[in-house]
């Protein structure tokens, strides 16, 4: 892979990860167009996602800091309650601590609930996802499906749910939606934001929830890919290309997060719907023409 190809792929990832047009679908299509042969399988894709993950941490740093602090608080209270449970068996009757004491603690648990179905589906679909990325037909079909989802999202009435009012059922359904969005061509942000809006989420919170809930999923994908990776799998010159592509994806991704917040508030998904429909149709036609 050349440096120019890596930069192009980084730009595609940064734009498509946060704008509702499917990064995985565009990466698969661009890989076919540019004739990029990535011998490490999904490694480069994972690194690009890692770059956009850093963008999420920067864009939502205040929320993520609170979530991390409250997450450790939940663990601390959990272990205290375990200790008090065994203490009660010995006759010491101390009251259990209340675990969910703030909206951020509830936010943490909602994300964990969403992550469970996503993780299970990601493991089950792993081989299918890799095979589907080797052709432009599947990404094309799912881009058309993304177009339909975006039209639905634009027409959903604005809800009021946030972390303190969203249900565990909502979190589970959104996690399932994110699990399906691992398929190339099905926009993760578009699918999960649409699911959030259909569950009655506030539009600003829907964007925040969609991006923050992707953190465990991306980290899990990184761990799954890295465990089978050996340093000798990538040639020296390619290392530089991979790193440059990752940095480009992060910078472009940060700019697109800010753009996405404006777009969702303005109900302007219909423009991306038209784009996804056009690219999807072109990809499907190109597949059969070849």
Residue ranges for the chain with pLDDT beneath 70: 1, 23-24, 27, 30-42, 221, 224-237
The C-alpha atoms of residue 247 and residue 212 are separated, in whole angstroms, by 20
Among left, alpha and beta (phi > 0; psi -120 to 50; other), residue 185 is left
- Taking a C-beta distance cutoff of 8 angstroms, is the pair 199, 166 a contact? yes
- In the prediction, which pLDDT does 168 show? 96
Q: Which residue has the tokens 């399932």?
A: 176
Phi and psi (nearest 5°) for 161? -65, 140
- In the prediction, which pLDDT does 2 show? 77
- In the prediction, which pLDDT does 42 show? 60
- In the prediction, which pLDDT does 87 show? 87
- In the prediction, which pLDDT does 228 show? 62
Name the residue ranges covered by the structural domains of the chain.
Answer: 3-289
The C-alpha atoms of residue 138 and residue 25 are separated, in whole angstroms, by 8
Burial 201-213 (b: 16+ CB within 10 A, else e): bbbebbbbbbbbb
- In the prediction, which pLDDT does 164 show? 93
Calculate the CA dihedral of residues 96, 102, 104, 105 and round it to 10 degrees: 10
């Amino acid at each position: 892979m050349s440096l120019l190809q890596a930069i192009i792929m980084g730009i595609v990832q940064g734009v498509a990860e946060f704008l509702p047009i499917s990064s995985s679908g565009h990466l698969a299509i661009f890989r076919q167009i540019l004739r990029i042969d990535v011998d490490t399988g999904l490694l480069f894709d994972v690194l690009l996602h890692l770059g956009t993950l850093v963008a999420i941490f920067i864009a939502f740093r205040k929320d993520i800091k609170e979530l991390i602090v409250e997450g450790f608080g939940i663990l601390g209270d959990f272990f205290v309650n375990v200790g008090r449970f065994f203490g009660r068996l010995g006759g010491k009757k101390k009251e259990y601590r209340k675990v969910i004491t703030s909206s951020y603690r509830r936010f943490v648990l909602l994300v964990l609930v969403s992550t469970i179905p996503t993780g299970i589906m990601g493991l089950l679909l792993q081989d299918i996802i890799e095979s589907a990325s080797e052709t432009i037909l599947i990404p094309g079909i799912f881009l058309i499906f993304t177009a339909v989802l975006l039209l639905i999202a634009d027409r959903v009435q604005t809800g009021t749910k946030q972390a303190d009012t969203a249900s565990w059922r909502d979190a589970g359904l959104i996690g399932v939606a994110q699990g399906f969005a691992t398929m190339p061509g099905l926009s993760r942000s578009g699918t999960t934001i649409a699911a959030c809006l259909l569950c009655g989420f506030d539009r600003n919170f829907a964007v925040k929830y969609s991006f923050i809930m992707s953190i465990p999923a991306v980290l899990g994908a990184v761990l799954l890919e890295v465990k089978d990776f050996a340093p000798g799998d990538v040639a020296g010159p390619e290392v530089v290309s991979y790193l440059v592509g990752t940095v480009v994806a992060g910078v472009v991704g940060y700019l697109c997060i800010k753009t996405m917040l404006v777009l969702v508030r303005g109900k302007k998904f219909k423009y991306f719907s038209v784009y996804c429909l056009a690219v999807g149709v072109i990809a499907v036609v190109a597949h059969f023409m070849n």
